[in-house]
Structure 1
């Protein structure tokens, strides 16, 4: 059982909006070499700004699983739902977790029954796991009063993709029960994005998956962006060509990452990394011929 100290969830303010990080679990050191194989120790240690928050002295990447919760437009919103508890997963780091994620969410002021909207940046196992929880041997929506939202391109892609058994299992326990409950909404995301509620936009960032979206918040002249898996780790700011082993379209993933980073660089936009270890948030600044993250604790 992964337990947390009884401390408030870390949060950042975007105008009047408080964005809370809801921690699930730090991922093991082996995650980095598997997920981002081109982020070698040599590459990582050459970026001394990554230490100590985002990597250790040996170049091992720090990678986390967490969600973000906030209230906008009168809606209580959760972005991505992590790995989940008791799920049968091929990845041993994700298999049969038992964490107090829902308790942390509740402590942050978002009990599951109060959540109005769950935004899924994409349909990977470590982003949809808490869509459901097991009750009397059945997987049921963990947020029974919420609408779940993902891009239409994302959901339709997986219907046509040759899905291996592990991914079929993930759909069976974490996506299909939400669909069967009538709670999943599919949204078309044009090139300039789509506004979900005032001040909240989904931005297309395809490549990691075909329908992947980033989430942009704007309130009282301030802006934040939740990356999803367009950017897994800050080392990709220094080397945007570094992609994930599970990118469906590596070239498109790199193009989306470069375009996103270019739009964020040297602006006041607060970047919230979906897998960034604490301090998790920062601003993208130009660094040499690429970028670095200036942390905002």
Structure 2
């Protein structure tokens, strides 16, 4: 497994890629999330708690204890199928979170520069149906929201869809479904998959693994090729501080106790292995290997040119 930078990931400065056997996984950046995100999202990640894990600095936390978080997608080609995993916050969306409201990023340009023009994408995998994972499902066209990836199938777990279909949603979440989920479904591009306990293949070398807790139907995405393996976290792990303290929950976990069990099980299975962990909200260096440290774990970043 290896990491490369701009040359392999397209022309956009800062783009990164990782090889997993014959797969090349690209990180397509949307935006670095503001510093205020960490005390809201992970209120238990106090300055003292962050200081207990000095390995978090400087990449994953600053000297004041604020955590660094990011919004990005992962893109790869598997056996000729072009796949995008999660679609970020999106542009021009009306959002309750001021940091996400009416954004105007060059995400689509970055996709094109990375070689993944929206019209070329075959499959969009949504790890779960939260606002910061579905936003670029659609783009504005005239007064309507239309699928950004018109030739793709959009895939999520049936458990996830069934939960939200029956949930009592506030106005902000209803708006998100109206502008970023329902237009895809109305276009006939939305597919549901039954994810088995042991995982469900969706494409050559790509498997969905159930990681419930943050949401009932959240999935992680396992990549495998040539005896190598990687795992894209979704929000089962928001930030590497949760590796040091697996019991640390986010404020938006629907079932915090289950989220802790899921995270602990995942980290225990990965610890000491060669599997590359790719964090859906991890800032650069974004990827690494899970190692045991004390009563918890740490991320050993994958150095450039190595897995």
Q: Which TM class, normalised by the smaller chain length?
A: over 0.9
2:5 maps to none
Pick the aligned partner of 2:42 from 33, 36, 45: 36
Deviation digits for residues 154-194 of structure 1 (CA, Å, limit 9, x no counterpart): 01100111100000000000000000000000000010010
1:220 maps to 226
2:294 maps to 288
CA deviation after TM superposition for structure 1 residue 9, in Å: 2.0
Partner-residue secondary structure (3-state), 2:26: strand
Answer yes or no: is 1:253 the counterpart of 2:259: yes
1:124 maps to 130
User: How far apart, CA to CA, are the structure 2 residues paired with 1:196 and 1:9?
Assistant: 26
2:160 maps to 154
Pick the aligned partner of 1:80 from 67, 82, 86: 86
Deviation digits for residues 57-100 of structure 1 (CA, Å, limit 9, x no counterpart): 11100000000000012210000000000000000111000001
Q: Do 2:220 and 2:234's aligned partners in 1 also have CA atoms closer than 8 Å?
A: yes
Q: Do 2:69 and 2:239's aligned partners in 1 also have CA atoms closer than 8 Å?
A: yes
User: How far apart, CA to CA, are the structure 2 residues paired with 1:58 and 1:274?
Assistant: 23
Q: Do 2:12 and 2:114's aligned partners in 1 also have CA atoms closer than 8 Å?
A: no
Answer yes or no: is 1:62 the counterpart of 2:68: yes
CA deviation after TM superposition for structure 1 residue 197, in Å: 1.1
Answer yes or no: is 1:194 the counterpart of 2:200: yes
1:133 maps to 139
Q: Do 1:271 and 1:283's aligned partners in 2 also have CA atoms closer than 8 Å?
A: yes
Q: Do 1:132 and 1:177's aligned partners in 2 also have CA atoms closer than 8 Å?
A: yes
Answer yes or no: is 1:103 the counterpart of 2:76: no
Q: Which runs of 5+ in 2 are unaligned?
A: 1-10
Q: Do 2:69 and 2:282's aligned partners in 1 also have CA atoms closer than 8 Å?
A: yes
1:18 maps to 24
Q: What count of residue pairs does the alignment treat as equivalent? A: 293
2:120 maps to 114
Q: Do 2:95 and 2:102's aligned partners in 1 also have CA atoms closer than 8 Å?
A: yes
Partner-residue secondary structure (3-state), 1:171: helix
Deviation digits for residues 175-232 of structure 1 (CA, Å, limit 9, x no counterpart): 0000000000000001001001121100000000000000000000110000000000
Q: So what's the TM-score if we normalise by structure 2?
A: 0.94
Q: Do 1:204 and 1:213's aligned partners in 2 also have CA atoms closer than 8 Å?
A: yes
User: How far apart, CA to CA, are the structure 1 residues paired with 2:58 and 2:22?
Assistant: 31
CA deviation after TM superposition for structure 1 residue 7, in Å: 2.1
Deviation digits for residues 227-255 of structure 1 (CA, Å, limit 9, x no counterpart): 00000000000100001100000001111
Calculate the aligned-residue CA RMSD, in Å: 0.9
Q: So what's the TM-score if we normalise by structure 1?
A: 0.97
User: How far apart, CA to CA, are the structure 2 residues paired with 1:272 and 1:36?
Assistant: 19
Deviation digits for residues 260-281 of structure 1 (CA, Å, limit 9, x no counterpart): 1111100000000000010000
User: How far apart, CA to CA, are the structure 1 residues paired with 2:21 and 2:233?
Assistant: 19
CA deviation after TM superposition for structure 1 residue 8, in Å: 6.1
